[in-house]
Amino acid sequence: MMSSNQQGEIAKGLEGVVAAETKIGFVDGINGRLVYRGYNIEDLVEKSNFEEVAYLLIYGKLPTLTDFKQFKDNLNLKAGISEDLFSIISKTTQKSHPMSALRTAVSYQGAFDPLSSNSDLKSQEKMGLSIMGSFPSIVAAINRSIKGEGRVVSKSTDYVEKFLEESFGRKPSDFEKEVMRVALIIHADHGMNASTFASMVTISTLSDMYSAVTSAVSSLKGPLHGGANEKSLEMLEKIGSPKNAEKVISEMLEKKEKIMGFGHRVYKVYDPRAKILKVYAKQLAEKTGHKDLFDTAEEVEKVMVSKLGSKGIFPNVDFYSGIVYKSLGFDSKIFTPIFALARISGWFARSFEYLHDNRLFRPRSLYKGEVGPLKYLPINERKQ
């Protein structure tokens, strides 16, 4: 018998459950729109830069020149990361997944920031800004460590340029900066997805921003969330050529395998971010000798849409982001940390917003186990 306070409808995976109010971003899954504080992402991609978009998400309006200067000073991008942290990242990357290195890096920084004992709004804001300001150098350090390369320190105070310069050890071209700027803007925020929710759950206990971001990084690691572009690229490389697409995809679907880079919990139409990235993926792939990869992807898309489009399954952002990052020269292992490089703005903005009207997250589960009371047997009387 179930007691009455354990009755209730289960929303598996919390699907359809509305658990918070926000003014930050709106994912319109029916019309395929993504809106940050009222602005269409297409408009921001055309006219804005990543720091400005982050400011918009965090503070609710586009910055004035003075606001923007102050924000950049607070991010203190010039500072980068310490040699100590680079060395920890290097060691962690040799032993584990790059997302584990990122998780460790955020947590390590938190251990040395005295603010991390505080939970007032001002301290949380300062922590958020310093985490975000360190991300280009942390992710670049992971990128170099994966390849066994040493540290590069860029004096740039531009989020995108600093990341690319410290990743590759050279000045990036205007086109590389343009592509990365776009990729970061479209990944900046996306509703109450698993990693954002994880950060909000943590902050709702009045824990600190480092812990919230550590939780978020941990949940972004999984292949059903941030890890999908890595898997999607792997699949495209295995397929190898457009002519194999139909056969391979049909076989995978027959075996009930999920095709990475397709489908979305909210979008039941074409993901607007994938639409934007597809254009860059094509240009970049042609410029860098990966045209076959792009053509294979387009063929996979055709096959998938013909088979599953009627169920609302279309390419999501992860389908084309892998091609974009590979063509820029990144190893697939760094794709999810690059996702985090953008999403840190959404994690910070949403956790910070939630704290202004905080309520501890505490859902219930429906107990399906034995209600008892069972008779307790001492260990030596229990049968094998």
CA–CA dist 80, 259 (Å, integer): 38
Interface residue with ligand ACO, options 224, 279, 366, 371 (CB under 6 A): 224
Taking the least distance from each CB to ligand ACO, the nearer of 260 and 355 is 260
Taking the least distance from each CB to ligand ACO, the nearer of 269 and 308 is 308
Q: Is 20 exposed, middle or buried (0-12, 13-18, 19+ CB in 10 A)?
A: middle
Please state, in angstroms and as integers, the Cα–Cα distance from residue 57 to each residue in 144, 176, 227, 307, 353, following that order: 30, 24, 24, 37, 10
275 is a site residue for ligand ACO (CB under 6 A): no
Q: Cβ 348 to ligand ACO, closest distance in Å?
A: 18
203 is a site residue for ligand ACO (CB under 6 A): no
**Cβ contact 182:273 at 8 Å:** no
Tell me if residue 318 is catalytic: yes
- Could you say which of 158, 264, 271, 290 is catalytic? 264
* Region near ligand ACO per CB under 6 A, out of 16-24, 31-39, 205-213, 253-261: 253-261
Interface residue with ligand ACO, options 151, 221, 264, 290 (CB under 6 A): 264
Q: Cβ 235 to ligand ACO, closest distance in Å?
A: 10
Long-range contacts, stretch 369-375, CB < 8 angstroms, 24+ apart: 371/1, 371/2, 371/3
CA–CA dist 218, 13 (Å, integer): 17
263 is a site residue for ligand ACO (CB under 6 A): yes
For the chain, give the number of residues: 384
CA–CA dist 62, 221 (Å, integer): 31
268 is a site residue for ligand ACO (CB under 6 A): no
Give how many residues touch ligand ACO by CB under 6 A.
17
Cα 105 to chain centroid, rounded: 16
Give SS3 for 205.
coil
Tell me if residue 225 is catalytic: yes
259 is a site residue for ligand ACO (CB under 6 A): yes
**Which residue's entry shows tokens 């898997």?**
231
260 is a site residue for ligand ACO (CB under 6 A): yes
Q: Whose CB is nearest to ligand ACO?
A: 263
Interface residue with ligand ACO, options 33, 78, 225, 275 (CB under 6 A): 225
Applying the rule CB under 6 A, the residues between 303 and 332 that interact with ligand ACO are 308, 311, 313, 316-318
CA–CA dist 57, 17 (Å, integer): 23
Positions in the binding site for ligand ACO (CB under 6 A): 224-225, 228, 258-265, 308, 311, 313, 316-318
User: Which residues are the active-site residues?
Assistant: 225, 264, 318
